[in-house]
Structure 1
Amino acid sequence: MKKPKYQIIIDFIKEKISKGEWAIGSQIPSQRHLAKMFEVNRSTIIIALEELMADGLIEGIAGKGTVVTNNTWTLMGSGFSTNWNGNVTQGIHKPSVSTVQEINDAESDNRLIQLSKGELSPELFPLKEMQDIVQKVSEQLTPFGYEEPKGNLKLRQTISSYLKQRGVNVSPSSIFVVSGALQALHLISIGLLKEKSTVFLEEPSYLYSLSVFQSAGMDLSGVPMDNKGVKVDSIFQTKETGRNILYTIPTFHNPTGILMEEERREELMEYCIREQIPVIEDDVYRDLWLDNAPPEPLKAKDRHGNVLYIGSLSKTLSPGLRIGWLAGPESVIERLADLKMQLDYGSSTLSQLAAEKWLSSGMYEHHIEHVRNQLMIRRQRALDALEKYLDAFAVWDIPKGGFFIWVKIKPAFKVKKLFEKALSKGILINPGSIYKENEGQFVRLSYGFASLDEIEKGIYQLSEIIKDNNK
């Protein structure tokens, strides 16, 4: 006999609790999440939860939702289980804010229209070329172990040549291979900065959606922007030399898409050298220019070892490779390479060999030309849809590259509500609040991942949500 739906849900939750996967003190998923997971009405979820409460396994607690209070073992015996819920809030690394956690979970849901993702569509993934490169790499394999601390030498030599073409002249010994740009930021936060240091950054900024520097005891200090980039005259040092650093995304900034102009770059570098403020330049979007090639990186103007330069293949080729790099003074590179060895003993050898083939064979440059052409089509589709459906409700600037359009919703409609309503209708967007946009009126829309039809449909649905609210 087929079990009723509520009993299936009860059995599922009991199994999670009995295995210790949902430990005592932990919060179980929301009713909405469970209803979506089992494709049932919330009333069915409520019936299941009420029975589990009657069994003494869960309890509703004000401000915490529904939490696990017992498991089958503690109900059967006199022993006590570890309450991990107390421990998970005591670690030194801060959790993501709740909205970011919700977005991270939702980005793996293929049923949603993903207007949030900062990555290329699977439609743009060069599958045949990747298969060819992986096959060539596998045919040339010899027994391999751990790479040297800075990463595969041949890859670092190839990255050095790649950067030289973009105006950055750094030796392989000053380049360090990392598992994506985020790992570079994490290593900098734990390896170079004193506790209570200040990290200057654009406001808004992608970095606000992470907790990497705050978890290491740093303070974030936002600096306003205009359409030319960060406003240099708004950077005010409040601490002694050695306790400040600047993080910037000068090329196709995340989330605003702003491209810092040449004159502003020169002004910023002059200021940071004069005031002895080291710079972290996050340049992962550089190759995604659409109209004209951007100005040279800040690192190209660096004659004092003042700039730590971060690049990556995650935005232009494949996030699954987990290959990025950090260029800087050799003493800094060696320090961070030592820390990386303590964390993971080096990035994947296979990924490094594949990345080297991509960059040295000319296939990467051919691929990125195709990507630019496709992103231009996607950007135009998004702009046309915005003009057609959201012109009465929003304003935006045209990005010159990258993935993102920074859209300001007119004050009659709060973005937090738009985010929630859109998600309930199968559309995922990023509210500006996660980047510390204080007006509460901005959203970051990505045209990089969703299909052309999904881009238009998603923007149309956003307009319908706003219209319904205004009736």
Structure 2
Amino acid sequence: MAQIHWKPDKQSLVPMHKQIFDFIKDKIALGDWSIGNRLPTQMEMANAFDVNRSTVLEAYEALKAEGLIESKKSAGTIIVNNTWSVLASKAPPNWEKYIESGYQKPNLNVIKIINELNLDSKMIRLGAGELAPEMSPVQYMKSIYDHLLMDVNYMGYEEEKGLLQLRVEVCKYLKPMGIDVNPNKVLIVSGVLQALHLISMGILRRGATLLTEQATYIQSLTLFESHGINFTGVAMDGEGLIVADLLRKASVKKPELLYTIPSFQNPTGVLMSVKRRKAILSLCEKERLPIIEDDTYRELWLDEEPPAPIKAGDKNETVLYMGSISKSLSAGMRVGWIVGSERVINRLADIKMQTDYGSSSISQWMCYEFLAKGYYQSFIKSLRHELKIKRDFTLKILDQYFSDIATWQKPAGGFYIWLTLNKNIQMYRLFESCYRQGVVINPGNIYDVSSNKNIRISFSYASLQDLEQGLMILARMIKLNLSNR
């Protein structure tokens, strides 16, 4: 067989095993590689294509499934003679072409791998941003569900802005925080992620600039980038966004929105001070810069209740406020809310109806019952106690194994500890070496592309035993990777 001069395109969105499959199939179809010929071994192909042997194996298995090749002990892998019907059959549409032309960008490759690994129950999940299954309010949910089956007779489409009863309860829930609104200014959404998607589609133009914390959750999302929206990071300290840097970036970049997580910020865990919240609101009012306040983690305080939301001091409808039960009750319920100017809420509600015709009725009714019957606050109180135990345990383990290689701050709430290594590290290599040892981490560079020193450690999901084992493995992998640089 002639020498192979082709290689798969590693920058393509098409998986490399699929490119290899198509290449070999084309060679057979064109008669370049004849029936009865032996294919190179998997290792020879891997060397020729500059890929892992497992990639070639996956392509070979697909070729076998289509009847194009067979493996024989004495002859190796050969092209067989019963494939004419396969090759002569009408080709399906080129779906790859359509996929590549779609405007929504694919997820970051590291995040796709994390999502896949998180489905493996054998992996220790040190980066998971959700509650462990045993921490879910199962008994409350069973009681509420039984009640709904008996008393709720209709679960069809809800109002454009969501279940009215739930919006009324959300208004009651927000009032003690200093946010006094009516249900017309509340939109129920399927979590904060959908809220951000609606905002990107409904009130931001292509080419707009969004200011965020330097390291932030939405840097890990492609939805804003897919809509042509740019990010500019604002520096932070232990009190949150630095006002002087915010002013400088606002003057130079001419942004259209500021997105901030003031309470137990994701991924750093920083709690913005009262003084900083007031200064940021004052500056944004002066600069006419709208604020998106993401208060998802607010109820997860562990030491003392956080300051009032930025929205509480908003007299000019400068702030769009977002909340959710996904972190505090159940990630799978997918219920959150946006509070803001009625005109903006109407616009976002219209787009929401165009995209999903309303969030799940049963999830909205369950959320309503949690709030209306006082179950939510009862559960949150016990949840804080459990999370505090896990946080303190994690800090103890960090002191034991990381004191010579990293620094961190004690978070006052939320799920996360922002680990800062003493030296830069090849972050993907560390990520890969950890998952080969059964530990999934969230590298800091998915939240800030310039970060080669940070890792987001979550204490909310893994058991105490897994936290200790996972952190021991992580410390060992960090030291190993640093010594092999």
* TM-score for the superposition, normalised by structure 1: 0.85
Written as runs of structure 1 = structure 2, the 5 A alignment for 1:18-417 is 27-28=16-17, 49-50=59-60, 75-77=86-88, 79-235=90-246, 236-237=249-250, 244-411=256-423, 413-417=425-429
> CA separation of 1:415/1:351 partners in 2, compared to 1, >3 Å: closer, same or farther?
same
Computing the radius of gyration over CA atoms, which structure comes out larger, 1 or 2?
A: 2
Secondary structure, aligned partner of 1:354: helix
Amino acid paired to 1:237: A
Contact kept, 8 Å, 1:395 with 1:408, in 2: the verdict is yes
Q: Indicate conservation of the 8 Å contact 2:17/2:56, yes or no.
A: no
**Residues 57 and 257 of structure 1: CA distance in aligned 2, closer, same or farther (over 3 Å):** farther
Structure 1 residues without counterparts, runs of 5 or longer: 1-23, 32-41, 59-71
- Call closer, same or farther: CA 1:216–1:51 in 2, change over 3 Å: closer
User: Taking structure 1 as reference, are residues 412 and 231 closer, same or farther at Cα in structure 2, changes over 3 Å only?
Assistant: closer
Amino acid of the residue matched to residue 345 of structure 1?
Answer: Y
Q: Deviation at 1:89?
A: 1.8
Please tell me whether the aligned partners of residues 203 and 437 of structure 1 are also in contact (alpha carbons under 8 angstroms). no
In structure 2, do the counterparts of structure 1 residues 423 and 82 end up closer, same or farther at CA, with 3 Å as the change threshold? same
Contact 2:294/2:323 (CA < 8 Å) preserved in 1? yes
SS at match of 1:406: strand
Runs of 4+ in 1 over 4 A off after TM superposition: 24-31, 42-58, 238-241
Q: C-alpha offsets along residues 142-192 of structure 1, whole Å, 9 cap, x if unaligned?
A: 133210000011100000000112221111111010000000000011001
Q: Following TM superposition, by how much is the alpha carbon of 1:414 offset from its aligned partner in structure 2, in angstroms?
A: 3.3
Provide the secondary structure at the position in 2 that maps to 1:165.
helix
C-alpha distance in structure 2 between counterparts of 1:414 and 1:256, whole Å: 20
CA contact (8 A) 2:406 2:422 kept: yes
Aligned-partner residue type, residue 409 of structure 1: L
Q: 1:457 aligns with which of 469, 474, 479?
A: 469
Cα offsets for 1:385-428 (capped at 9, x unmatched): 11111111111111110000000122164333221111111100
Could you tell me whether the CA contact under 8 Å between 1:25 and 1:86 is conserved in 2?
A: no
Give the aligned partner of residue 33 of structure 2: none
Q: Matched residues in 2 for 1:280 and 1:168: separation?
A: 15
CA contact (8 A) 1:416 1:440 kept: no
Shift of 1:238: 5.5
Which of 459, 462, 465 is 1:447 aligned to? Answer: 459
Give the TM-score taking structure 2 as reference length.
0.83
Per-residue Cα deviation, 1:11-41 (whole angstroms, up to 9, x for no partner): xxxxxxxxxxxxx96554899xxxxxxxxxx
Alignment of 1:412-427 (within 5 A): 413-427=425-439
CA distance in structure 1 between the aligned counterparts of 2:61 and 2:146, rounded to whole angstroms: 55
**Amino acid of the structure 2 residue aligned with 1:454:** D
Specify every segment of 5 or more residues in structure 2 that has no aligned partner in the other structure, as ranges.
Answer: 1-12, 21-51, 70-82
Q: Distance in 2 between matches of 1:412 and 1:178?
A: 39
CA contact (8 A) 1:284 1:312 kept: yes
1: CA distance, partners of 2:210 / 2:226 = 13
Distance 1:340 1:461 in 2: 44
Q: Equivalent residue of 2:157, what SS?
A: coil
Q: CA deviation at 1:196?
A: 1.3
Q: Structure 2 vs 1, CA of residues 285 and 79 (structure 1 numbering), >3 Å: closer, same or farther?
A: same
Provide the C-alpha distance between the structure 2 equivalents of 1:51 and 1:96, rounded to a whole number of angstroms.
27
1:429 equivalent among 433, 441, 450: 441
Indicate if the aligned counterparts of 2:155 and 2:362 stay in contact, CA closer than 8 A.
no
C-alpha change, 1:227 and 1:44, in structure 2 (3 Å) is closer
> d(CA) in 1 for partners of 2:452 and 2:458?
18
Task: Give how far 1:77 is off.
Answer: 1.6
Distance 2:258 2:63 in 1: 51
Identity %: 40
Counterpart AA for 2:358: G
Distance 1:467 1:353, change over 3 A: same
Report the Cα distance in structure 1 between the residues aligned to 2:297 and 2:439, rounded to whole angstroms. Answer: 24
Distance 2:424 2:460 in 1: 28
Distance between the aligned counterparts of 1:370 and 1:313, measured in 2?
15
Shift of 1:436: 1.2
Using the TM superposition, name which of 433-442 and 75-84 deviates more. Answer: 75-84
Q: Is the 8 A contact 1:25 1:84 kept in 2?
A: no
The farther-off stretch of 221-230 and 409-418 is 409-418
Cα deviation, residue 468, structure 1: 3.6
* Distance change >3 Å, CA 464–CA 30, structure 1 → 2: farther
Structure 1 SS opposite 2:264: coil
What per-residue deviation string (whole Å, max 9, x for no partner) do you get for residues 326-371 of structure 1?
0001111111111111111101111111100001111110100111
Q: Is the Cα contact below 8 Å between 1:74 and 1:81 reproduced in 2? A: no
